[in-house]
A = this chain, B = another copy of it.
């Protein structure tokens, strides 16, 4: 697989993802149920995690064809988790359109996520590929870890705590995002190739995954001039989401600024007015917190990429490994 035929692979991956939930049903309500399960996948995310699986499999010497169901399952995981995350955070939009629970209601959206969760397992269980057991075990671990990360995140919210430490924030995003975005796809690529994952993949993948999430937090607070980011500007402030930017601001601001920031962010979402969120942004700027987070992301990205260059220095397919590192570089330094 070379960078040149990337579009063709993405089309095949997308087809494979949607094949997990067939269209239509004799019972009209159940046809609608399937359409709702296909909604997020059909919105066409970037397919980043699936692409990492395909390239990592190729780099380890496997035919990426063999990795397609695994890549599709990981994208299905991403989609059901997003449905539930959007419910849990009461997000407004996803991929530039209303979040599913804002279309279908919270109860229906939770159940649609559950059905897509089952479709994910079906994709992995209904195969007799030699990698099946190892891949199933990896999915069990990554989903459990992701749920733990989500719980840490939700615990901060439930306690009304904004002054989370940098260490607690990093522990949270390693579990919630970094593992399933980078570590698991790299390891899954190895497993499809029948290779024991190199132990260097874990720390390097975690560092890259942290960079990816921190860049996401930063992007959320920068004006989206190109429209490519596709999420609500400063939506994280409206949602009261804990980010490295906030952790840094609470560390360096003086007591009165901290109290004001806590007050602005702690209000119920419906009572947050745009001018107040602009004031919160000004406080973050005073702490130079966005630039600080950007610096951490760059350091983590460099560390992760360096670790992966080592791990893939003797790759079975050096071209695929080169493409993989390029993709991950773009991911860690994402601009959208």
Contacts A105-B158, A125-B140 hold; do A30 and B111 have CB atoms under 8 A apart?
no
Known: A125-B137, A137-B125, A147-B115. A155 touches B29 (CB 8 A): yes
One of B114, B117, B148 near A30 (C-beta < 8 A): B148
**Min distance, Cβ A198 to any Cβ of chain B, angstroms:** 24
B-contact bits for A120-155, CB 8 A (1 contact / 0 none): 011001100000010011001001100110111011
Contact string, A20-62, partner B, CB cutoff 8 A, digits 1/0? 0000000101101100000000000000000000000000000
| A154 x B107 contact (CB < 8 A) | yes
Task: Identify A87's interface contact among B27, B110, B122, B157, CB under 8 A.
Answer: B110
Secondary structure type dominating chain A contacts: helix
Q: Say yes or no: A30 contacts B87, CB within 8 Å.
A: no
Pick from B133, B148, B157: contact of A107, CB below 8 A: B157
Q: Give A137 to B106 CA distance when docked, in angstroms.
A: 29
Query: Does A118 lie within 8 Å of B147, measured CB to CB?
Result: yes
Chain A contact residue count (CB 8 A cutoff): 42
CB under 8 Å from chain B, chain A span 144-187: 144, 147-148, 150-152, 154-155, 157-158, 171
In the bound complex, do residue A30 and residue B152 qualify as a contact, i.e. CB atoms below 8 Å apart? yes
**Alpha-carbon gap, A121 to B77, bound state (A):** 14
CB-CB under 8 A from A137, the residues of chain B are 125-126
* Other-chain contact of A33, B29, B84, B118, B151 (Cβ < 8 Å): B151
**CA of A136 to CA of B144, assembled, Å:** 19
Q: Chain B nearest CB: distance from A178 CB in Å?
A: 16
Among B32, B108, B143, B150, the residue within 8 A (CB) of A118 is B143
Known contacts A30-B148, A151-B30; is-contact A140 B111 (Cβ 8 Å): no
Q: Which 5 A-B pairs have the closest CB atoms?
A: A88-B107, A115-B147, A33-B151, A29-B155, A118-B143
